[in-house]
Structures are given as structure tokens and as C-alpha cells.
Amino acid sequence: MEIWVNPRCSKCRTALSLLETEGAAHTVRRYLEDVPSAEEIRAVLERLGLEPWEITRAQEPEARELGVAGWTKEPADRDRWVAALAAHPRLIQRPIVIADDGTAVVGRSEAAVRDAMARR
């Protein structure tokens, strides 16, 4: 499995610790350094079953600067949101765990990370 992390994030560190404690094979992607492309974000959104605005950290300074609070959440605006996430990866909710079966979860809780580990 793969986990997208910001090493400064406590939720990311907790998720990584759980993966390591449980001996789950995983690769780490520091997504602020290895920024996902718009296509990768679209693929992860499909795996998550979410829309881009559902994984956008709207309280980040970049989100306020972009004015995302005023953006519509319509299918026609999806590309605008994805482009913002690709250009400003700090806006991506974290951690994202991509399970071995190809699905993904936002691993902000132990239960979500365990769910991803169980997906084979």
C-alpha cells in the first residue's frame, strides 16, 4: 500500500506508526515534495469515492488566498478544484492511504487506517 504524508502532521505520523507496528508493507510518499499530478489526484479521488472539495483543507492560508470557500461544488468546477490541489498540495487532506486492492481512505483515524490494511 502507499501512504501520502506530510511528516509534520501528527495524524500522518500516527498512521505511519500504526502501519509499522502492524508490519504492513507500505511505501511513503511525501506529497509536499513529490507533488501528485492532476491525473494522480483524479485517480485517488476515484479510489476514495470523493470529490476534490471533500479532501480540500479549506482552512489553510493557500485556500483562503485562492478563495475556495466561494467556489461552487458542481461537476463543472471539478477540474478547477483538482488543479488547485495539484498546484497547492498543502491543501490535500492527509494522510491518504491507498490500499492493496486499489481503494483508498483518508486515514485520519486508526479505524480508517486499519480498514485500509484489511483491504487486500
Output phi, psi for 111, to 5 deg: -60, -40
Q: Which of 93, 91, 118, 97 minimizes the C-alpha distance to 16?
A: 97
9 annotated active-site: yes
Instruction: Report d(CA 120, CA 114) in Å as an integer.
Output: 12
Tell which residue, 56, 65, 54, has the closest CA to residue 90.
56
From 6, 7, 9, 97, active-site residue:
9
* Active site positions, annotated: 9
